[in-house]
Amino acid sequence: MIKLNIKNETSRLRSVVLGIAKSNGPIPTIEEAYDPKSTQHIKAGTYPKEEDMIKEMDAVAEVFKKYDVEVFRPKIIEGYNQIFSRDIAFVIEDKIITANILPDRDKEIDAIDHVWQQIPKENRIKLPAYCHVEGGDVMPWNDYIFIGTYSGEDYSNHITARTNMDAVIAIQELFPEKIVKSFELRKHNTDPKENALHLDCCFQPIGKNKAILHKNGFLVESEYQWLVNFFGKENVFEITKDEMYNMNSNIFSISEEVVISERNFTRLNTWLREQGFTVEEVPYAEIAKQEGLLRCSTMPLIRD
- pLDDT tens-digit map of 219-254: 999 999 999 999 999 999 999 999 998 999 999 999
Residue 91: pLDDT band by 50, 70, 90 thresholds? very high
60-64, 104-108, 123-127, 292-296: segment of lowest average pLDDT: 104-108
Element (H, E) at 41: helix 36-44
Domain-embedded: residue 6: no
Total of domains in the chain: 1
Tell me: pLDDT of 83 over 60.
yes
How confident is the model at residue 24, as a pLDDT? 82
Domain-embedded: residue 4: no
pTM attached to this predicted model? 0.92
How confident is the model at residue 207, as a pLDDT? 98
Compute the distance between CA of residue 276 and CA of residue 162 in angstroms, rounded to an integer.
35
CATH of the domain at 95: 3.75.10.10
Q: Region 192-214: what's the mean pLDDT? A: 90
Compute the distance between CA of residue 13 and CA of residue 304 in angstroms, rounded to an integer.
7
Average pLDDT value for the chain:
91
Q: Region 192-215: what's the mean pLDDT? A: 90
* Cβ-contact 83, 287 below 8 angstroms: yes
Element (H, E) at 169: helix 165-174
Q: Region 91-106: what's the mean pLDDT? A: 84
Compute the distance between CA of residue 288 and CA of residue 40 in angstroms, rounded to an integer.
12
Domain-embedded: residue 210: yes
Domain-embedded: residue 20: yes
Domain-embedded: residue 83: yes
* Percent of the chain clearing pLDDT 70 (strictly above): 93
Q: Region 21-28: what's the mean pLDDT? A: 84
Domain-embedded: residue 287: yes
Tell me: pLDDT of 102 over 70.
no
Q: Region 273-298: what's the mean pLDDT? A: 93
Residue 190: pLDDT band by 50, 70, 90 thresholds? low
Compute the distance between CA of residue 240 and CA of residue 214 in angstroms, rounded to an integer.
7
Domain-embedded: residue 171: yes
Tell me: pLDDT of 61 over 90.
yes
How confident is the model at residue 197, as a pLDDT? 79
Angle among Cα 281, 240, 159 to the nearest 5 degrees reads 90
Pairing outcome for strands 124-126 and 95-98: parallel
Residue 259: pLDDT band by 50, 70, 90 thresholds? very high
How confident is the model at residue 289, as a pLDDT? 83
- Residue ranges making up the domain that contains 218: 13-303
Compute the distance between CA of residue 270 and CA of residue 255 in angstroms, rounded to an integer.
18
Per-residue model confidence as pLDDT tens digits over 128-181 = 988 989 899 999 999 999 999 987 666 555 555 578 899 999 999 999 999 999
Angle among Cα 281, 92, 71 to the nearest 5 degrees reads 45
Domain-embedded: residue 252: yes
